[in-house]
Amino acid sequence: MNGLHVVGSTEPYRSFQTLLAQWIRAKCPEAVFTTIVINHNFEIDRHRDSKNVGPTILLAGGDFTGGGLRLWLGDGDKVKLHDLSVDDSTVVPLDELKYTACLFDGNKAHEVLPFEGDRFSIMAYTVRGFLDATDSDRHGLEAMSYNFPTHETLCRLRRTMETVPRQ
């Protein structure tokens, strides 16, 4: 689906969404986002996000070891994913930084490393097409404590992650 739409099936969970949004904002006050995703025991291969505008907030927790986030900070999208060298990457050790906000550019190549145990992750990001959101959808998210982005707030957020992922 393109653009931003508040899905009606989430209505019964407004209080939970509000709690998550407030927790994310407490961990990363400058965070702006339209979308929250919860993953459980999810390993994902090297990829670049295509449905969001870049700035991504990640919080990981649970009883796990490994499961770091490998990032290619200098990635330009012209290089094929399989041609990227691990020597040019950095790893955020999420098992050592549980429940710490990691801010990174999801449009640059990244992957979740193998892990053992029970791993949860919460991802918050801004979906492409967010500027076309209806007033109703925008106000609905803001009512649940989402910090709805503007072009300016996204630019500010991008500047904070230009060199290294912020933790």
Domain regions of the chain by residue span: 8-160
CA gap 128, 50 in Å, rounded: 8
3-state secondary structure at position 13: helix
Q: Check residue 76 and give its pLDDT.
A: 79
pLDDT tens over the chain, length 167 residues: 455 666 667 778 889 999 999 999 999 999 999 999 999 999 999 999 998 998 999 999 999 999 999 999 888 778 899 999 999 999 999 999 999 999 999 999 999 999 999 999 999 999 998 988 889 889 989 999 999 999 899 988 888 775 445 55
Q: Check residue 39 and give its pLDDT.
A: 94
CA gap 147, 8 in Å, rounded: 20
Q: Check residue 1 and give its pLDDT.
A: 42
% helix, strand, coil for the chain, step of 5: 30, 30, 40
Q: Check residue 166 and give its pLDDT.
A: 52
In CATH terms, 8-160 corresponds, of 3.40.50, 2.20.25, 2.60.120, 1.10.3470, to 2.60.120
